[in-house]
């Protein structure tokens, strides 16, 4: 029997560390021919190619070149381009990851052509439909044929939505596989040296959610709060392109650059970024992935959001939801050691790709 072709759809920065370990695992299985499909949602070197290099991913089999645009435009371009690929060369399975616009578009394209879809990181819910990612998660999970969940809350969400339990496979958190695969290399990088910092005596900031960065007043309040925090603990802030554009547009860039202790830089690749996080005292973020990585590493995480689709990081881990107004009080608590020590959730153990590949193998045609 010829091997089964599996498309691994990668689109934007947070997808690459989820697809990487699964690609490596599937490439070792004789029944499988994994092909990486890059939709091109992210295209800057530091948001895309740097991750391929750091994670040992091969050149994409196909690049759809979708690029940036409004939600409608980006999703539509991706739907059209991927449908063409599926019509030309239909794979046996499509794997999509996370909750970006390409995740939704590729799921829709495959479903309509009756090609089965597996969703990696299924079942997460913030219950906040003002977040575009929540809409992407809901639609993707409603259509997918195999739902790979990271934690019990995700299973419960899917069951509540009426998903057939036979479609759900709890495999754990695949980002931890990526982290474990590179961890031996992180120690040697000493990323903190670039700013003359000391391990354990600095924080890492990331910020890119529309709710935080797309309005001048909200962004200014956050920059002011970060400036006050940086006076107490030096902060390294790799600036996402969306945030960079907004800081410029709103005339806030020079204010941020002038704040003592706040070190702005370009987005970092996976290895440099994780090396920085590994030795940090704490993180301040609105990212989904960093909430999980810090819980795994036992590092305090102050999440600048009113909700999270990853509640297990708050219940079990080291994550807390904060507002710009209470950032300073939370920083005090974290610095004084008054912070949950946290536990690592079950199945966040570096073996998620193996479990996902096994569950796909079980679904091979007889
Ligand atoms: C997207 C995802 C978000 C994810 C984030 C990680 C959606 C709805 N959002 O948000 O869930 O957390 O990626 O980064 O899919 N840009 C560049 N270079 C690039 C890509 C984008 O400069 O390589 C700029 C463009 O000005 C673009 C803007 O960033 O308009 C936003 O990019 P986009 O992909 O639309 O959303 P993100 O904010 O990156």
Residue among 13, 45, 63, 68 to mutate when testing ligand 1 (max atoms within 8 A of CB): 68
Q: What distance in Å separates the CA atoms of residue 154 and residue 174, rounded to the nearest whole number? A: 14
pLDDT > 70 fraction of the chain, expressed in percent and rounded: 100
Per DSSP, the residues of 244-281 read: HHHHHHTT-HHHHHHSTTEEEEPPP-HHHHHHHHHT-S
Q: Tell me, using a 6 A CB cutoff, whether residue 133 lines ligand 1.
A: yes
Q: Tell me, using a 6 A CB cutoff, whether residue 249 lines ligand 1.
A: no
Q: What distance in Å separates the CA atoms of residue 361 and residue 52, rounded to the nearest whole number? A: 25
Q: What is the pLDDT of residues 70-100, one digit of tens each?
A: 999 999 999 999 999 999 999 999 999 999 9
Distance 119 CA to ligand 1 centre (A): 20
Q: Tell me, using a 6 A CB cutoff, whether residue 18 lines ligand 1.
A: no
7 is known as an active-site residue: no
pLDDT > 90 fraction of the chain, expressed in percent and rounded: 98
Closest ligand 1 atom to Cα of 242 = 29
Quick one: DSSP state of residue 225? H
What is the pLDDT, as a whole number, of residue 97? 98
What is the pLDDT, as a whole number, of residue 86? 98
Does 132 or 366 have the greater pLDDT score? 132
pLDDT above 90: residue 256 = yes
> 7, 23, 208, 240: which one is catalytic?
208
Confidence of residue 365 (pLDDT cuts 50, 70, 90): confident
pLDDT above 90: residue 121 = yes
pTM for the whole structure: 0.96
pLDDT above 80: residue 366 = no
Q: What distance in Å separates the CA atoms of residue 175 and residue 335, rounded to the nearest whole number? A: 27
Mean pLDDT of 298-312: 98
CA dihedral 166, 172, 177, 179 (to 10 degrees): 150
Distance 327 CA to ligand 1 centre (A): 25
Closest ligand 1 atom to Cα of 288 = 12
Q: Tell me, using a 6 A CB cutoff, whether residue 67 lines ligand 1.
A: no
Q: Tell me, using a 6 A CB cutoff, whether residue 305 lines ligand 1.
A: no
Beta-carbon contacts of 87 under 8 Å, excluding residues fewer than 6 positions away, are 113
pLDDT above 90: residue 308 = yes
Backbone angles phi, psi at 164, to 5 degrees: -60, 125
pLDDT above 90: residue 148 = yes
Asked if residue 254 lies in contact with residue 220, where contact means CB atoms within 8 angstroms, the answer is no
CA dihedral 122, 125, 131, 132 (to 10 degrees): 20
254: how many CB neighbours lie within 10 A of its CB? 10
What is the pLDDT, as a whole number, of residue 1? 73
Cα–chain center distance at 357: 20
- For the chain, give the mean pLDDT: 97
Q: What distance in Å separates the CA atoms of residue 37 and residue 42, rounded to the nearest whole number? A: 13
Mean pLDDT of 63-69: 97
Q: Of all protein residues, whose CA lies closest to atom 26 belonging to ligand 1? A: 242
């Amino acid at each position: 029997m010829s091997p089964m072709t599996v498309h691994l759809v990668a689109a934007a920065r947070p997808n690459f560390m989820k697809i990487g370990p699964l690609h490596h695992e599937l490439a070792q299985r004789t029944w499988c021919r994994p092909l990486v499909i890059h939709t091109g949602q992210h295209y800057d070197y530091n948001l895309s190619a740097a991750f391929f290099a750091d994670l040992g991913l091969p050149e994409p089999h196909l690049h759809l070149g979708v690029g940036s645009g409004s939600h409608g435009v980006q999703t539509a371009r991706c739907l059209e381009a991927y449908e063409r690929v599926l019509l030309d060369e239909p794979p046996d399975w499509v794997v999509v990851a996370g909750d970006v616009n390409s995740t939704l578009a590729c799921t829709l394209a495959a479903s309509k052509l009756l090609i089965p879809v597996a969703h990696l990181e299924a079942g997460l819910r913030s219950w906040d439909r003002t977040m575009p990612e929540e809409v992407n998660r809901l639609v993707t999970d409603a259509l997918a044929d195999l739902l790979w969940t990271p934690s019990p809350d995700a299973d419960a969400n899917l069951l509540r939505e009426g998903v057939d339990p036979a479609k759900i496979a709890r495999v754990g958190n695949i980002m931890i596989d990526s982290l474990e695969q590179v961890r031996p290399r992180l120690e040697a990088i000493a990323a903190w040296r670039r700013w003359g910092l000391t391990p354990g005596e600095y924080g890492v900031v990331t910020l890119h959610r529309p709710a935080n960065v797309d309005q001048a007043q909200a962004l200014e309040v956050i920059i002011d709060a970060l400036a006050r925090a940086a006076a107490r603990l030096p902060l390294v802030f790799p600036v996402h392109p969306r945030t960079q554009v907004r800081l410029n547009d709103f005339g806030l860039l020079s204010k941020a650059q002038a704040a003592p202790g706040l070190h702005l830089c370009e987005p970092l690749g996976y290895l440099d970024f994780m090396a920085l996080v590994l030795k940090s005292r704490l993180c301040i973020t609105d990212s989904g992935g960093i909430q999980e990585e810090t819980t795994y590493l036992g590092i305090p995480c102050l999440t600048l959001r009113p909700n999270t689709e990853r509640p297990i990081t708050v219940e079990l881990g080291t994550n807390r939801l904060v507002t710009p107004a209470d950032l300073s009080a939370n920083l005090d608590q974290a610095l004084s050691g008054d912070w949950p020590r946290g536990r690592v959730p079950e199945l966040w153990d570096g073996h998620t790709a193996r479990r996902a590949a096994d569950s796909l193998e079980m679904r091979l045609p007889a």
